[in-house]
Structure formats: C-alpha cells, structure tokens
Chains A and B, each alone.
Chain A
Amino acid sequence: MKKANKKTKNNSITDTKKSNKKQTFYVVISSIFIGLLNGFFGGGGGMVAVPLLEKVLHVENKKAHATAIAVILPLSVVSASFYFAKNSFEFNWIFYASIGVFFGGFIGAVLLKKLSGKVVRFIFAMIMLFAGLKMVF
C-alpha cells in the first residue's frame, strides 16, 4: 500500500513537470508567431495568442482576450517604432482613425450582447475573404 502511494505521488509530480514542459514549448513556439505576425502584418497576433491562452494554458475566454491585449500592446509599440523609423505618417490620419476605433470599440462591446455572433462572424469572414482576394489579384 505504501509503495503504491509513493508511486502515485511521484507520477503526479512528473506529470505536472511534463505538462509544464509541454506548455512552455507551445508558449515559446507560439510567441515566435505572435511576434512575427504583429511585426510583419501590423496585426493578427491575437489569432495565435487567444487560442494559445485558452487551449494550452487553460485560461477562460474573457481573460484570454484581455491577456492577449496585454501581450500585443508592447509588441505593437515595438513594431510601430520600426514602422515610424522607416515611413512618414501624418499625425492627422492617426488621430482621426484612433477616434473612430475608440468609439467603434465601444459600440462593438455594446453590440456584442445584442447581435447574433454567428451572423457577425460570417460578415467578418466575408469581408476578409473579399478584401484578401482584392489585395492578391
């Protein structure tokens, strides 16, 4: 009986170590992609960050989205400084677009509770598909 208990105890510690190693592995690999997407495309890191947090690190959905923002903010600042260094931006553009995005975010958060998620997702997917096609061809 004592031997069996000892075995289970050791196994659970090894299992935790194994799962931690696995998680660390996925975290490191995913971080590479999150960074590359953010830098190369100026966005899209969340597409990897949220699933990483939810599925590998077992973070609950709302927390995953919030934490993804916490990750992507410093990344965006780093990327943006390189973009700034090599391009000229009119501050006007940034100002007006930011105002729009700010209010849009507000509206979006309100609509989230009212509109059907599926319909909006479908519209979103269609917009991306057509925009993508137009950009390629």
Chain B
Amino acid sequence: MEIWLIVFGIVAGIFGGMGMGGGTVLVPLLTLALGFSQITSQGINLICFSFLALSSLVLHIKNKLIEGRFLLVIILCSIPFSALGAIMANSIDNQILKVFFGVFLMILSLIEFVKLFNKKSI
C-alpha cells in the first residue's frame, strides 16, 4: 500500500510538475486503483498538494513570480466558496461524488484535446 502511494504520488507529481493538474491524476489513481473512497482521495490530494504548493511557493516568491495585482481579491472571493464546495462534497453520497468527479475529468480531457487540436492546426 505504502509503495503504491509513493508511486502514484510520483506519477501525479510528474504531471503536476509539468504544469498539468496533478490532482486530476492522483485522485482517480487513489480511488480506482487503491479503493479509497472518493472523499478520502480528494482529501489526501488537497493535503498533499498543500505541502507541495508550500515548497514551490517559497521558490516562486524568491524568484518574484507572484503577481500581486488582484491576488488578495481572488483569494478572499474564493475562500468562502471553497468552504461551501467542501461542505457540499462532504454532504453527498460518495458514489454520486465519484460520478461527478468522473464527469469533471471527462470535461477536462475534452478541453485538453481541444487545446491540442488547436495547437496542431497552427
């Protein structure tokens, strides 16, 4: 189990490190391959990402890559909704959350395919 967690973490981290969503790889791996409940996988992803974000952020601040304009506005506006989203996710049935997540993944994959298609035609 532990080894798989590390392996899946590495896989997700690689995609994340390349600028694509790492969480959208980690969550399905945890749920589908390791049998975690959807809500648990999402929670693990949130926490893992927070650690990664913290370490990356230190570097980014040092390199002055953070755009300050509107930053506080975005954070303050989104926090109440992340709380709301988290409460909603924890209130619905796990299977339903899984299906919603699956639909979300499919939409994201379509967006990626469209992006690829647009770039290729150029």
CB pair B106–A128 under 8 Å, yes or no, is yes
Choice from B13, B50, B89, B104 contacting A76 with Cβ under 8 Å: B50
Asked if B56 lies at the interface with its beta carbon under 8 angstroms from chain A, I say: yes
Beyond A71-B75, A82-B86, whether A105 also contacts B16 by CB under 8 A is: yes
CB pair A80–B47 under 8 Å, yes or no, is yes
By a CB distance below 8 angstroms, the chain B residues around A133 are 102, 106
CB pair B106–A136 under 8 Å, yes or no, is yes
Residue-wise interface mask of A (97-137) relative to B, using a CB-CB cutoff of 8 A (1 in contact, 0 not): 11111111111111110010110111011111101111110
By a CB distance below 8 angstroms, the chain A residues around B57 are 66, 69-70, 73
Give the secondary structure class of B's interface: helix
Residue-wise interface mask of A (69-106) relative to B, using a CB-CB cutoff of 8 A (1 in contact, 0 not): 11111111111101110110100111011111111111
Query: Within the complex, what minimum Cβ distance (angstroms) separates B46 from chain A?
Result: 4
A–B Cβ pairs within 8 angstroms, 21 of them: A24-B73, A34-B78, A34-B82, A36-B85, A38-B85, A41-B89, A44-B108, A47-B111, A63-B66, A67-B66, A70-B57, A71-B78, A76-B82, A78-B86, A93-B44, A103-B9, A104-B12, A108-B14, A108-B16, A128-B105, A131-B32
The 3 closest A-B pairs by CB, nearest first: A100-B9, A104-B13, A108-B17
